[in-house]
């Protein structure tokens, strides 16, 4: 009996080891454009945003959100190509039925936005404030639609304010910690680098 159990565990362990993905496969699965760039034999140019405590890399095909000098609105687009001093975006024009290429020099980009953190924290930044507002509305206006409290005056309880304010504040904290906006300047630098 012990030999059969030993044989089964050995066979199952060998099949698990045979199916483990390589580092290249894991890189391609987590971020396809970065995985292709790092595992290819050719050098690939990419944009690096250096900030105190880290570096964010953008390869061709990645989505970047930034503000350019002279514009008040954010630009959200996929990078088509990275040259020596410019970033190229391709926008499809339905009028001409072809791609139109827009270039931005690095010195034209004044602010870069990105999300940093786990998916749970990012989603909590959106959902917790909504949950706080819904909790407040449901508890404050419960005499209006609940038959047990029909005719009771609308009143704000301290427990309602504490719970809904706590949910709202925690959501704002999650949002602020995961959504970064970096003003390009002395401490935050935007550079174009090559993979080796």
pLDDT in tens, 185-196: 889 999 988 887
The verdict on pTM exceeding 0.75 is no
pLDDT given at position 20: 64
- Angle between helix 23-30 and helix 32-39 axes, rounded to 10 deg: 140
Q: What does the alpha-carbon distance between residue 74 and residue 43 come to, in Å, rounded to a whole number?
A: 30
pLDDT given at position 130: 94
Q: What does the alpha-carbon distance between residue 142 and residue 140 come to, in Å, rounded to a whole number?
A: 6
Q: How many CB atoms lie within 10 A of CB 21?
A: 10
Per-residue pLDDT reduced to its tens digit, 65-82: 999 998 889 999 899 989
Is the Cβ–Cβ distance between 117 and 81 less than 8 Å?
no
pLDDT given at position 164: 93
pLDDT given at position 2: 66
Q: How far is CA 180 from CA 65, 84, 121, 183, 188, in A?
A: 11, 26, 13, 10, 12
pLDDT given at position 112: 92
Q: Could you write out the DSSP letters of every residue in 157-192?
A: -HHHHHHHHHHHHHHHHHHHHHEEEEE-SSSSEEEE
pLDDT given at position 9: 67
List of the chain residues with pLDDT < 50: none
pLDDT given at position 114: 87
CATH 2.60.40 corresponds to the domain 23-114+181-194: no
- And the tokens for 6? 């030993």
Strands (E) across the chain are located at 45-51, 54-58, 63-68, 75-82, 86-93, 98-105, 109-115, 179-183, 189-194
pLDDT given at position 97: 85
pLDDT given at position 168: 93
């Amino acid at each position: 009996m012990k030999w059969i159990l030993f044989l089964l565990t050995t066979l199952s362990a060998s099949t698990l080891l045979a199916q483990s993905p390589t580092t290249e496969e894991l890189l391609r699965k987590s971020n396809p454009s970065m995985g292709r760039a790092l595992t290819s034999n050719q050098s690939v140019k990419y944009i690096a945003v250096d900030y105190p405590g880290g570096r964010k890399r953008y390869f061709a095909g990645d989505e970047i959100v930034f503000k350019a000098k002279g514009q008040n609105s954010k630009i959200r687009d996929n990078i088509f190509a990275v040259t020596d001093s410019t970033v190229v975006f391709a926008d499809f024009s339905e009028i001409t039925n072809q791609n139109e290429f827009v270039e931005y020099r690095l010195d034209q980009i004044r602010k870069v936005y990105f999300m940093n953190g786990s998916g749970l924290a990012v989603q909590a930044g959106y959902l917790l404030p909504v949950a706080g507002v819904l909790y407040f509305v449901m508890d404050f206006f419960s005499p209006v639609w609940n038959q047990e409290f029909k005719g009771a005056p609308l009143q704000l309880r301290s427990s309602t304010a504490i719970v809904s304010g706590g949910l709202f504040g925690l959501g704002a904290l999650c949002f602020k910690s995961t959504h970064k906006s970096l003003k390009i300047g002395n401490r935050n630098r935007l550079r174009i680098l090559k993979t080796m």
